Structure 1
Amino acid sequence: MSDMDLMGMIADERRRLADLVESLTPAQLATRSLCDAWTVKEVVGHLVAAVAAANGPALLLLVRSGFNIHRANARLAARMAHRPAGELAGMLRAHAENPFRPPIVGHAGQLTDLQVHGQDIRRPLGLPHDLRGDRLRVSLDFLVGGRAVGFVPRRRPAGLRFEATDLDWASGTGPLVRGTGEALMLGLTGRHAALGDLSGDGVAELRTRVS
């Protein structure tokens, strides 16, 4: 798949996320997400900051965080989340077609970030995922392909076979982990909430690796 195709998918996911953000109530925005200690709105703040934050402020925050990328990322997300939800949605639309390509993980990583964090938001709110099959396959290939730095430790998918029940997708050899593409994506990225949706003799091992 070409970078142009991926960029089109990313732009559409950002616009869809903007629509979702505008539809949420203050109580929903304050709900705890699947992503560590972040609220739904802080997850949105992270996704906005990933594409809209100016390089200067982001670098300064990294320095102040002792060059700990995860700590700086959390601070940047929290800072961005102080903005009104409508403003965050507007920033997502304004930067929907931003061509920035992250190092190492590339556009496939960027698309995966949007899809995974989209579920970090939707699952706790009981909202349907509405993930697109072609985009989900891109993310699944990325997560088991060895380039998902920061998404999946290399040993997590090693020696396991993953099979999607709703997509024409499978990967790996070994004990089986089976489920919907959405549940596989979330399980691979360490979301405990999705592990109960998986079946097969490899799930126990995956659960151990996630823990």
Structure 2
Amino acid sequence: MIAERTEQADLLAGLRPDQWDAPTLCEGWRVREVVAHLTMPFRASLGRTMLDLAKARGDFNRMADTTARHDALQLSAADLLACMRQNIDHRWKPPGGGTHGALAHQVIHGLDVTVGLGLDRRVPPERVALVLTGMKPRNIKFFGTELDGLQLQATDVNWTHGTGTPVRGSAQDLLLFVCGRRLPPGRLSGTESP
């Protein structure tokens, strides 16, 4: 976790101002909304989170979206980056997700930024493999991606999932596919990105 946050903070520190306002693979979110979302657990009290969740009528996704958009308007890129740097070793874990969920959250949203910007950052394959192998059916179901009849095959680590028509690509691209992200053309072989 520390290595992933450190690498992401270093990458974010090198972004131009226009890149902070560029779209990511998270639909409707620019880089600043993604970073606001990643740093929200370090900035928001449990009380604020519960109040925001109540305002969203218990819909976590709606709450996360509203909060990210609000915080991205209130905080500068420098503030968001400073928050990430100050919390490199924070022990936050998503409810019910544990350490694996925290790593998955960081890796997936980091890829939303780098792939969305067209940057050539490769998350260490063994780190992505940890995220992929730790995914449970409920995690995959959360994203709503239809994987029936597909066998996902990573080309850079020893990982497969499912049976059926082979879909091949790097572990990080397959992770994004599982999460329902629209990948740039040519990143996977065997199917179109969702």
TM superposition score normalised by structure 2: 0.88
Equivalent position of 2:114 in the other structure: 122
Secondary structure at 2:103 match in 1: helix
Q: Deviations over 1:22-42 (max 9, x none)?
A: 211110000011101011111
Do residues 18 (structure 1) and 18 (structure 2) align? no
Distance 1:26 1:100 in 2: 28
Secondary structure at 2:23 match in 1: coil
Given the alignment, which residue of 16, 20, 28 partners 1:29? Answer: 20
Equivalent position of 1:59 in the other structure: 50
Distance 1:142 1:195 in 2: 27
In the superposition, relative to structure 1, how do residues 128 and 110 fare at CA in structure 2: closer, same or farther (>3 Å)?
same
Do residues 106 (structure 1) and 98 (structure 2) align? yes
Equivalent position of 1:48 in the other structure: 39
Matches within 5 A, 1:167-206: 167-194=157-184, 196-200=186-190, 203=191
Shift of 1:84: 1.7
Secondary structure at 1:148 match in 2: helix
Equivalent position of 2:70 in the other structure: 79
Distance 1:79 1:186 in 2: 25
Distance 1:176 1:194 in 2: 19
Secondary structure at 2:157 match in 1: coil
Secondary structure at 1:168 match in 2: coil
Distance 2:172 2:65 in 1: 25
Provide the aligned length of Structure 1 versus Structure 2: 193
Distance 1:194 1:126 in 2: 9
Matches within 5 A, 1:121-140: 121-140=113-132
Structure 2: gaps spanning 5 or more residues: none
In the superposition, relative to structure 1, how do residues 33 and 70 fare at CA in structure 2: closer, same or farther (>3 Å)?
same
Q: Deviations over 1:30-59 (max 9, x none)?
A: 001110101111111110113432112222
One-letter identity of the residue aligned with 1:48: T
Secondary structure at 2:168 match in 1: strand
Secondary structure at 1:193 match in 2: coil
Return structure 1 stretches of 4+ with deviation > 6 angstroms: none
Distance 1:106 1:156 in 2: 25
Secondary structure at 2:137 match in 1: coil
Shift of 1:130: 2.3
Given the alignment, which residue of 39, 43, 54 partners 2:30? Answer: 39
TM superposition score normalised by structure 1: 0.82
Secondary structure at 1:161 match in 2: strand
Distance 1:195 1:60 in 2: 41
CA RMSD of aligned residues (A): 2.1
Secondary structure at 1:66 match in 2: coil
| Same amino acid, percent of matched pairs | 32
Shift of 1:194: 4.7
Distance 2:170 2:162 in 1: 16
